[in-house]
Chain A
Amino acid sequence: MRRVLPGFLLALWVGFALAQSNLAPGFTKLAPNTTIALMPADVELFEISAGGIGEPRADWTAAATKNIMADLRTRKVKLGARATEITGEQDETVEALNNLHGAVSRAIVVHHFGGLKLPTKDGKLDWTLGPDVAKLREKSGADYALFTWVRDSYASSERKAMMVVGALFGVGMTGGTQQAYASLVDLRTGQVVWFNRIFRGTGDLREPEPAKETLDALLTGFPL
């Protein structure tokens, strides 16, 4: 499904996509027999109405979450890392770490991959959650945790119709964008050892096959 990405945003993202390392300094790949805890995927899918507003679609989100988690599980088994999942009611400390991870991810997206580079970082992917991650390690028994976050939107048929009309008048309209990140955290130190993000106008998470393609893109360069 083709979608039109706002030109300047695409240029910004693509422009800065080059040459940014996805790996923390000194980290190249996971040791064999590592255990990775899959954090519950944070996913929201939206339908863009004719008016351009994103309306959350619970059924799409549920499908996408299912597809993502299923694919992640399959992938890990294939690639030889042992999987575990953090499920059930989260306690406050795990929740606080989740929130902190969100803030760290935003910093990475803005300051490492984005245009607001921090000169003191010297281009390195050098961010951490700190040693409090030991609590996640205890809970899961894992050496690393994989976080995934996805926001994706799709044009409704009305919106698509409007886009066609708009194109006739030379008006570009967003058809929907897919933004996602994946982050691998070392649960012994808290260091973000690998991070990747995608931002594009294609992809469809609602069905298993295209969802696999999105995850292929998201997990490109996963250090196994």
Chain B
Amino acid sequence: MQRRPFLLGCGCLAFAAAAGVRADEYDYQVPPRFTRPDPGTDEGGLWAFMDREEQRLKRSSFLIRDPALNKYVTGIACGLAGEHCPEMRVYIMRTPYFNASMAPNGMMQVWSGLLVRMQNEAQLAAVLGHEIGHYLQRDSVEGLRDAKNRSSFGLIVGMALGVVAGGTAGSLAQLGILASGMAYGRDQERMADKIGVALMARNGYAPAEAGRVWGQLLDEMEGAKAAGEDVSSTDILFASHPPAEERKEVLAEAAKRDWPGATRTGTDEYRAALAPHRMGFLYDEVRRRRFGESLVLFDRLLKASPRDGQVQYFKGEAYRQRGREGDAKLAIEAYRAALAMDNAPPEAHRSLGTVLRQTAENAEATRAFQRYLELKPDAEDAEIIRSYLTGSQS
């Protein structure tokens, strides 16, 4: 049954258009609560399959179980989902790629690569609202039916079996492929974008932040291309959507509309919630070895928060790990900048020492290593660092 939630009743839209009045396309009518479908139907089969994938997800070694972060993200999702909140379960995964998805059984996944990229609560709400939009529209079921009829379904499942995202293996649920945008058509994506904006505004978030998410991703892709890096894995995310550029434009237009009371970005709350985890997420980000994207991300975070020594440190790490001609110098500058800021981790001294050693500035390197040991005498690598100082190896 095709849903038309934006019609306020049969023929109203047509009437309104005929009368020259533009009906409010963002006045989204949330459907009533969902009930579990009959297991014999294809929807029921998909639901049951996702239930079992969810059981696996619950036991995954890559699930982030921290109650505070879960409470925070679930709270945002619940606010957006409104009366559908009780149908949802949120799972936060330690996976350093931009993704969030929602399965037809109410299982929502949010990856750490997404969390580290959001500037504020409103941006996270935009992405979650979009996924909730797909859920409320039953898009994944439509997508599955549609995909089964297209040969691309094989590609989708084949990809889900571990070929995407840089060859990472994992369960179907972990990859969130079936329920993510992979099987969705452009119309469904546009609808989900609209619903996402409507839900954001109802929860008081500034809809302008939605378009920014796409602008940010585009910038990262540009950074990767400029650095001569392969962007094929991120391209996959854009493959079946309307192009990112178009989404950014459409969402920017949506933001220009009048949204009384929808002004909140929640920047401070977001930072506070992410703080205990961010160092680990930034570490994972650098370890991906997609330095073009990472550097754009770090610069963006620094623009919003110029004295963030932790991000500045990881900027240095990106240069150090990339190790191209001239990168050693850039890394040293970054570490020194970080150490002048508020919250540089002690590791900044260690990395500075490591690079100074490369450039044969041994006296300075020694001082940096000493400083590291003063700050972290029980570090896991304290013994080896000490051996650099004494010049002794056993």
Q: Do chains A and B touch in the complex (CB under 8 A)?
A: yes
Chain A contact residues, CB within 8 Å of chain B = 49, 51-59, 61-62, 90, 95
Give the complex CA separation of A59 and B154 in angstroms.
19
Give the complex CA separation of A38 and B343 in angstroms.
53
- B157 touches which of A55, A58, A62 (Cβ 8 Å): A55
Given A59-B39, A90-B59, A95-B59, CB of A52 within 8 Å of CB of B45:
no
Q: Which residues of B contact A95 (CB under 8 A)?
A: 59
- Report the minimal beta-carbon distance from A90 to chain B, rounded to whole angstroms: 7
Closest partner residue, chain A, to B152 (CB atom): A51
Give the complex CA separation of A58 and B39 in angstroms.
9
- Report the minimal beta-carbon distance from A65 to chain B, rounded to whole angstroms: 9
Stretch of B46-54, B189-197, B295-303, B309-317 with 4 or more beta carbons under 8 angstroms from chain A = B46-54
The reply to whether A59 and B151 form a contact with Cβ atoms under 8 Å apart is no
- A49 touches which of B49, B52, B154 (Cβ 8 Å): B154
- Report the minimal beta-carbon distance from B139 to chain A, rounded to whole angstroms: 19
Q: At the interface, yes or no: B77 with Cβ under 8 Å from chain A?
A: no
Give the complex CA separation of A90 and B52 in angstroms.
14
The reply to whether A53 and B52 form a contact with Cβ atoms under 8 Å apart is no
Given A53-B158, A90-B59, A95-B59, CB of A59 within 8 Å of CB of B153:
no
Contact with A along B356-390 (1 / 0, CB 8 A): 00000000000000000000000000000000000
Closest partner residue, chain B, to A98 (CB atom): B59
Q: List 11 A-B contacts (CB under 8 A).
A: A51-B154, A52-B154, A53-B154, A53-B157, A56-B49, A56-B172, A58-B44, A58-B46, A59-B40, A61-B49, A90-B59
The reply to whether B154 and A58 form a contact with Cβ atoms under 8 Å apart is no
The reply to whether B153 and A53 form a contact with Cβ atoms under 8 Å apart is yes
Give the complex CA separation of A22 and B56 in angstroms.
30
Q: Which residues of A contact B48 (CB under 8 A)?
A: 58-59, 61-62
Closest partner residue, chain A, to B61 (CB atom): A99
Q: Which residues of A contact B59 (CB under 8 A)?
A: 90, 95
Give the complex CA separation of A55 and B160 in angstroms.
11
- Report the minimal beta-carbon distance from B111 to chain A, rounded to whole angstroms: 21
Give the complex CA separation of A56 and B161 in angstroms.
11
Give the complex CA separation of A56 and B45 in angstroms.
9
- Report the minimal beta-carbon distance from B268 to chain A, rounded to whole angstroms: 34
Contact with A along B11-52 (1 / 0, CB 8 A): 000000000000000000000000000011000111111001
Q: 15 extra interchain contacts, Cβ-Cβ under 8 A, other than A49-B154, A58-B46?
A: A49-B153, A53-B153, A53-B157, A55-B157, A56-B49, A58-B39, A58-B45, A58-B47, A58-B48, A58-B52, A59-B40, A61-B48, A61-B52, A62-B39, A95-B59
Closest partner residue, chain B, to A60 (CB atom): B45
Number of A-B contacts (CB under 8 A): 40
The reply to whether B46 and A55 form a contact with Cβ atoms under 8 Å apart is no
Q: Which residues of A contact B148 (CB under 8 A)?
A: 49, 55
Closest partner residue, chain B, to A48 (CB atom): B154
The reply to whether B157 and A54 form a contact with Cβ atoms under 8 Å apart is yes
Q: Which residues of A contact B154 (CB under 8 A)?
A: 49, 51-53
Closest partner residue, chain A, to B46 (CB atom): A58
Given A51-B151, A62-B39, A90-B59, CB of A57 within 8 Å of CB of B157:
no
Q: Which residues of A contact B44 (CB under 8 A)?
A: 58-59
Give the complex CA separation of A52 and B157 in angstroms.
11
Q: Which residues of B contact A58 (CB under 8 A)?
A: 39, 44-49, 52
Give the complex CA separation of A173 and B113 in angstroms.
40
Q: Which residues of B contact A61 (CB under 8 A)?
A: 48-49, 52
Q: Which residues of B contact A56 (CB under 8 A)?
A: 49, 157, 172
Tell me which residues from 52 to 74 in chain B have a Cβ below 8 Å from any Cβ of chain A: 52, 59
Among A49, A54, A59, A90, the one with the most B-chain Cβ atoms within 10 Å of its Cβ is: A59
Give the complex CA separation of A90 and B47 in angstroms.
22
- Report the minimal beta-carbon distance from A117 to chain B, rounded to whole angstroms: 26
Give the complex CA separation of A30 and B380 in angstroms.
48
Give the complex CA separation of A59 and B52 in angstroms.
12
Tell me which residues from 190 to 236 in chain B have a Cβ below 8 Å from any Cβ of chain A: none
- Report the minimal beta-carbon distance from A121 to chain B, rounded to whole angstroms: 28
Give the complex CA separation of A57 and B157 in angstroms.
12
- Report the minimal beta-carbon distance from B2 to chain A, rounded to whole angstroms: 25
Give the complex CA separation of A95 and B63 in angstroms.
13
- Report the minimal beta-carbon distance from A63 to chain B, rounded to whole angstroms: 10
Q: Which residues of B contact A53 (CB under 8 A)?
A: 153-154, 157-158
Give the complex CA separation of A132 and B334 in angstroms.
48
